[in-house]
Structure 1
Amino acid sequence: MIDVQRLRVLRAVAEHGSFNQAAAALHLTASAVSQHVAALERGLGSLVVTRSTRGVTLTSAGRIMVGAAESVAAEIEHARQQVTELGTGRVQLTVATFTSGGRLLLPGALTELAAAHPEIVLHVREFEPEDSLPLVRQGAVDLALAYHFDGPLPGRAGGSPALEWTALMDDPLHVVLPQGHRLADRDALDLAELAAEPWVLGCLKTEAYLRRYAERAGFDPEVRGTTSDYFFARSLVAAGMGVSLIPSIALTPPVPGLSTVPVRPPAPVRHIGVATTGHRRARAEVTALVRALREQATGPAGHGAPAQAPGRGAPARPPTTGGPGD
């Protein structure tokens, strides 16, 4: 029989990459963590980690067992919630979201859900996708409003329970420039036209994304400012520090003195959607919230971004719906 505590320890080792860090997270000694892993390996008859001076990495068997550990954790959390609901008579629903997507899509969707299901107690937690998606797999949250750029969803470990991805909308990134900039009146821009410009970015992941697209366009961007807030990044652009690359839904509220110009294809895009597991998706309240979020994304809220006009006063191109998902 596989011990649940040993699975919990293995999951912590996988998350932290070392026995010492896993021990600190679990309030155990490193020796105790090592003993739990060794006992799990003896029971399975197979190594679950490869040990080295640089830490530990999962073997193929280890990845399978971490997936099992996440499934077990999710089932236990689901059972705990059901017991809590039996005692209180109230249905708990926890939503994880990234900031700009939550600001645009969640208020209307939650209002609709609360009106139709007043018995639901809603909880909202702010996380970036690399943090929220593991929480969905573990059962700590019921669903996550998340995004990914080109490529797979972040934080997907081999052997982990599959996430169900419901695509909501595409969120193209736009170039933001000072209003008097020589390129501010253009209808669209190639990134190569901005090769000589200094850059200010509102998200570290956007920097990595910009560098990939800039490499394709043949230049290495000079990044003079990075922040964790798109509004602050736009304020720095208005102050003359450089230009920026901002997702459409993060272009509100307006910052005076700026122009926004779409990027010509191949244009960088964020794909926004909802991540659930099949187990949680079966809950009526989760299905209702996903439906409400889709209505927000395809309605005025989704098509209202950005409110800030591009150069020459033309309306910004709205995001399209039904973007690709994983």
Structure 2
Amino acid sequence: MELDPRRLRVLRAVALRGGMAAAAQLLHLTPSAVSQQLAQLEREVGQPLIDRSRRTASLTPAGQLLAARAERIEQELAEARRELTELNGRLSGPVTIAAFSSAVCHLVVPALRELATTHPDLEPEVVELEGLPALTELRTGAIDLVIAEYDADDSGSPGPLRGLSAAPVADDEYCIVTPTAWSPRPGSIKDLAARPWVASPPDTACGRALDRIAGQYGFTAHRAHTCLEFPTVLALVAGGFGAAVIPKLALASASPLAIALPSVPVAGHRRITVLRRDLPAGPEPRTQALVDALQTVAFDLGLTPIAMPRTPLHHN
């Protein structure tokens, strides 16, 4: 029995993505090509690997067995690439980074500029993607790194995610910004209890931070507006429509019409972390080069270095 490793990779993609169309997207093939590769693999093994009796394709027991073997082969290939890199000391090839907007603007872009000098043969690709879709793409191999963030004081953060490891980047202190047009100007968080807020969605780090701060000061935040991206939040604050919780990193693009109150310890910080796939022998050199560059940029920006990460829950 001859097994073509390339067809095993197609079977693995179907197992990871849960269907032929999604596997085709991952592999940059047409659904027809995926179907043909699987049909040929079934002829090679002499038994069905895909259960086509259901509306969505699923693997038979034989298909599951071969997909697990294909996963091990992929890990062995990753280890081979690592060993070759260590042998010649040269980093090259594609590496795909998924990140949220403020991380792309203020961390990823400067890091990639540095890597273009230190490792010119790397071929980075940036994808603005976050949350569960980013983690799904990371697990399937379509993405190599996910830059994530969560409210570091949120006790509801889950434990480590199966098959993934986390590398710390920095802690990013929250600030509270208010419109300069407000009179009298608020001097503390208590002065904002009856004011409107431009809030991040409740399941994001800043959204959770606002709820936590309001709870500690004994008021319910009036979420007059809800925005996902920080430039939008800052534009509404500058327009006089509410106060907002903003991490220090995002204030790099703040309008001079919005002012930050003096730092209040209870505001806390968000934790920025890189997620990547676990490998038996440790991080893949290309991803480690990116982590190192991101940590350097964060330090240069004055963010607080961290030694041990927790697994992120949500992004912003």
Q: Distance in 2 between matches of 1:35 and 1:135?
A: 19
Q: Is the 8 A contact 2:20 2:57 kept in 1?
A: no
Q: Which amino acid aligns with 1:285?
A: R
Q: In structure 2, what is the equivalent of residue 125 of structure 1? A: 127
Task: Establish whether residue 273 from structure 1 lines up as the match of residue 273 from structure 2.
Answer: yes
Q: In structure 1, what is the equivalent of residue 110 of structure 2? A: 108
For residues 1-326 of structure 1, the aligned pairs below 5 Å read: 32=54, 36=58, 39-40=60-61, 75=75, 91-149=93-151, 150-151=154-155, 160-163=162-165, 165-182=166-183, 184=185, 186=187, 189-190=188-189, 192-203=190-201, 205=204, 206-279=206-279, 282-299=283-300, 302-303=301-302, 319-322=303-306, 324-326=308-310
Q: CA deviation at 1:277?
A: 2.6
| TM-score normalised to structure 2 length | 0.67
Q: Is the 8 A contact 1:173 1:248 kept in 2?
A: yes
Does the residue aligned with 2:116 lie in a helix, a strand or coil?
helix
Q: Distance in 2 between matches of 1:290 and 1:245?
A: 27
Q: In structure 1, what is the equivalent of residue 88 of structure 2? A: none
Q: Distance in 2 between matches of 1:243 and 1:228?
A: 15
Q: Distance in 2 between matches of 1:215 and 1:265?
A: 15
Q: Aligned pair in 2 of structure 1 residues 107, 154: CA closer, same or farther (>3 Å)?
A: farther
Runs (5+) with no aligned partner, structure 1: 14-21, 45-65, 83-88, 304-318
Q: Distance in 1 between matches of 2:159 and 2:74?
A: 17
Q: Which amino acid aligns with 2:271?
A: H
Q: Distance in 1 between matches of 2:16 and 2:222?
A: 39
Does the residue aligned with 1:32 lie in a helix, a strand or coil?
coil
Give the CA RMSD over aligned residues: 4.1
Q: Aligned pair in 2 of structure 1 residues 144, 162: CA closer, same or farther (>3 Å)?
A: closer
Q: CA deviation at 1:100?
A: 0.4
CA deviation digits over 1:224-277, x for unaligned, max 9? 111222122122122221111111111122313221114523323210122223
Q: Which amino acid aligns with 1:256?
A: P
Q: Which amino acid aligns with 1:32?
A: R
Q: Which amino acid aligns with 1:201?
A: A
Does the residue aligned with 1:251 lie in a helix, a strand or coil?
helix
Q: In structure 1, what is the equivalent of residue 27 of structure 2? A: none
Q: Is the 8 A contact 1:134 1:155 kept in 2?
A: no
CA deviation digits over 1:75-127, x for unaligned, max 9? 49959x99xxxxxx961111122110121112222122121222222211111
The alignment of Structure 1 onto Structure 2 pairs a total of residues equal to: 264
Q: Which amino acid aligns with 1:106?
A: V
Q: In structure 2, what is the equivalent of residue 60 of structure 1? A: none
Q: Which amino acid aligns with 1:139?
A: G
- Which has the higher relative contact order, 1 or 2, with Cα contacts under 8 A spaced 6 or more apart? 2
Q: Distance in 2 between matches of 1:8 and 1:146?
A: 24
Q: Which amino acid aligns with 1:111?
A: R
Q: Which amino acid aligns with 2:54?
A: A
Q: Distance in 2 between matches of 1:199 and 1:253?
A: 19
Q: CA deviation at 1:287?
A: 1.9
CA deviation digits over 1:19-57, x for unaligned, max 9? xxx7986789995267847x559x99xxxxxxxxxxxxx
Q: Distance in 2 between matches of 1:90 and 1:139?
A: 17
Q: Is the 8 A contact 1:95 1:123 kept in 2?
A: yes
Q: Distance in 2 between matches of 1:142 and 1:180?
A: 45
Q: Which amino acid aligns with 1:293?
A: L
CA deviation digits over 1:153-189, x for unaligned, max 9? 67965xx2132x2212111221111114357474xx3
CA deviation digits over 1:177-213, x for unaligned, max 9? 1114357474xx34x4422111112555233442243
Does the residue aligned with 2:164 lie in a helix, a strand or coil?
coil
Does the residue aligned with 1:266 lie in a helix, a strand or coil?
helix
Runs (5+) with no aligned partner, structure 2: 1-7, 24-30, 32-49, 83-90, 311-316
Q: Displaced runs of 4+ in structure 1, greater than 6 A?
A: 3-10, 26-30, 152-156
